[in-house]
Amino acid sequence: MQTKKGFTLAELMIVLAILGVIAAILTPLAFNATPDENKLKFKKAYYTLQRATDAVLNSDNYPEGDMSKVSDPAKTFCYTFSDMLNTMYDNCEGSNALVTNSGAAYIYDPSNSTTSLDTLDSYCSVGLVSDPLESGTNNLPKFITQDGIFWWGFDYDFDSVGTIVNNIRVDYNIVCVDVDGEGGEGAFAFGIRNDGKVIVGNKARAWLKEGINSTINTEEE
């Protein structure tokens, strides 16, 4: 007769200990490998902004390739931009203006080195946008895409190159992007020039440096 052999209690304890060590090593790696939803939406929004701005500039609305050469340029840009995306709400007729944070929201002006110390981010940090789909009342020009990203601001009209109004160069149109709507993540600030060049604020620049191979324009360039 053959004797059947099994694992001893000691052997089972050793196996369980080894599995525990492996689990302790792999669990943090698994969590780190899980993509952050806000970061994924931000990257999507950034590339959407780049592509859509190029498409807007080359649309029939701007035959001269200059986004300031239309009546009411900021509103026209807002509507043309939103029409190119899948939106579930848009109101580019909003009449409220963005308010700068402590007057420190320059877009970099090469002719004035002092502006390089300021940042676009403050321009979008104080204008919190309420959700119009939830009876929100904020009247900033805005639209919401199907992925829940808020696009708002659309302030200044791409004209008067080099002119400063409320500490903003008005040849840029300001666009704020909030990837989680009314969630806890603050908005990202972008400046779009009349020739389609996109300038990013410091917060967006920091996020873009995390694994994105792209040419990044900031207010310091």
Structure confidence by residue, pLDDT tens digits, 73-102: 888 899 999 999 989 888 888 777 776 655
Give residue 212's pLDDT.
47
Closest CA relative to residue 124, chosen from 148, 107, 147:
107
Q: What is the mean pLDDT of the chain?
A: 76
Distance in angstroms (rounded) separating the CA atoms of residues 177 and 189: 7
Q: Which DSSP letter does residue 114 get?
A: G
At 46, is the pLDDT very low, low, confident or very high (cuts 50, 70, 90)?
very high
Name every residue whose Cβ is closer than 8 Å to that of residue 74 and which is 6 or more positions away in sequence: 141, 154, 155, 156, 157, 158, 173
Give residue 213's pLDDT.
44
Q: What is the pLDDT of residues 163-188, one digit of tens each?
A: 777 666 777 888 999 898 777 788 89
Query: β-strands 188-193, 198-200: how paired?
Result: antiparallel
Distance in angstroms (rounded) separating the CA atoms of residues 131 and 137: 8
Name residue, tokens 């199907």: 146
**Crossing angle of the two packed helices 37-57 and 73-83, in degrees rounded to 10:** 120
- Determine the average pLDDT of the residues in 111-140: 65
At 139, is the pLDDT very low, low, confident or very high (cuts 50, 70, 90)?
confident
- Cβ proximity of 144 and 90 under 8 Å: yes
This prediction's pTM: 0.73
Is the predicted pLDDT of residue 54 greater than 60, yes or no? yes
Is the predicted pLDDT of residue 145 greater than 50, yes or no? yes
Give residue 153's pLDDT.
85
- Lookup: tokens for 141: 């020009």
Is the predicted pLDDT of residue 117 greater than 50, yes or no? no
Instruction: Please report, for residues 71, 150, 180, 217, the alpha-carbon distance to residue 52 in angstroms, rounded to integers and kept in the order given.
Output: 20, 15, 20, 17
